Amino acid sequence: MHGFISDVATKRRIRDYVVAAHEGEPGMEIIVQQATNLNRHIARAKREAGFEDCAKGKDAVYAGRRKACELFYDVRTFGAVMSTGPNAGQVRGPVQFTFGKSLDPVLPLDISITRMAIAKNLKENSTMEDYQKDEDATPEDKLRTMGRKQLIPFGLYEVRAFISANLAAETGFDDRDLQVLFEAILNMYEHDRSASKGEMEVVSPLILFKHVGTDSDENQRCRQAKLGCAPAHRLFELVDVHRKPNVEIPRSYRDYDAIVHLDKVPAGVEIGFQRDAFDPIVWGALPEQEDWLRNG
């Protein structure tokens, strides 16, 4: 059985990283947060756009949508359905993730654990003395509980993503937002630790494809770059990651061979690699520090 990581799980971790790393910066708020009502944020966007919270006209909806893109990083990046409550329409996000899928089958484990304490409810309005009395009257072997914890010992997952230049122009997703996205992808698991997740990491480098066009005319070249110079599936085929022949059960990403076919990159496309969140992108060549990848 292969393992999967949903697109919403990836986007949740990116959102959480943006909150942690860019809190207070203009335009870097997050609309989808824990224990919040999205309609409150929608109403705020319409109000800051100069309309009443529940204004229903086309101009009010459009202005609310545009203001939400200005305020919230995740709206202009991933899009949002804001047609509920105050109604600010819908935004199609330029950044889309696929489900991550493990390259090999994984082994989910279900482990029994023991907690050496209980959390027993007594009658309503019980006092500290009531809980102490009940604790004293309860046998010691009853003052503990059993639980379960699920984990996957190891899995190497491939996640693919797409960025639409056309939709980016509509939402205002710019180069700064793109840098934050790469930063968040490379660092998102550093701030999402838990015992059951183990040591989840993004295996560097981040592999990027940039469409630059081929025409000698600048305007035509920009148009080519915006529409794309090669289909996505052909670009993904340039990267081949597979388990080494002598490895039966992989336990590390180094149990895999990773090959990038630099000589097969289509005309009008550049391939880049980003090793760390704040390192420059290396274009057209493998990073010197990465000994895991090799040119095919």
Percent of the chain with pLDDT over 70: 100
Domain membership of residue 141 (yes or no) is yes
**Per residue in 123-134, pLDDT tens?**
888 899 988 999
- Model pLDDT, residue 123: 84
Please check the confidence at residue 105 and state whether its pLDDT lies above 90. yes
Domain membership of residue 115 (yes or no) is yes
Domain membership of residue 3 (yes or no) is no
- Model pLDDT, residue 195: 80
**Per residue in 82-95, pLDDT tens?**
999 899 999 999 99
Look up the pTM and report it.
Answer: 0.92
Domain membership of residue 180 (yes or no) is no
- The predicted model gives 209-219 an average pLDDT of 95
Helix then strand count (H, E) for the chain reads 9, 15
Domain membership of residue 219 (yes or no) is no
Please check the confidence at residue 290 and state whether its pLDDT lies above 80. yes
- The predicted model gives 2-29 an average pLDDT of 97
Domain membership of residue 204 (yes or no) is no
Rounded Cα distance, 151 and 193, in Å: 13
**Per residue in 136-153, pLDDT tens?**
999 998 889 998 999 899
Q: What is the Cβ-side half-sphere exposure of residue 151, based on CA atoms within 13 angstroms?
A: 14
59 pLDDT tier (thresholds 50, 70, 90): very high
Domain membership of residue 132 (yes or no) is yes
296 pLDDT tier (thresholds 50, 70, 90): confident
Q: What is the mean pLDDT of the chain?
A: 94
Dihedral of the alpha carbons of 210, 211, 214, 215, in degrees to the nearest 10: -130
Give pairs for 28-34: CB < 8 Å, separation 24+.
Answer: 28/73, 28/180, 29/71, 29/72, 29/73, 30/72, 30/73, 30/74, 31/68, 31/71, 31/72, 31/74, 31/75, 31/80, 32/74, 32/80
Please check the confidence at residue 198 and state whether its pLDDT lies above 80. no
Domains of the chain: total: 1
Tell me the residue range of the domain where 128 lies.
Answer: 109-151
Please check the confidence at residue 270 and state whether its pLDDT lies above 90. yes
- Model pLDDT, residue 199: 86
Domain membership of residue 181 (yes or no) is no
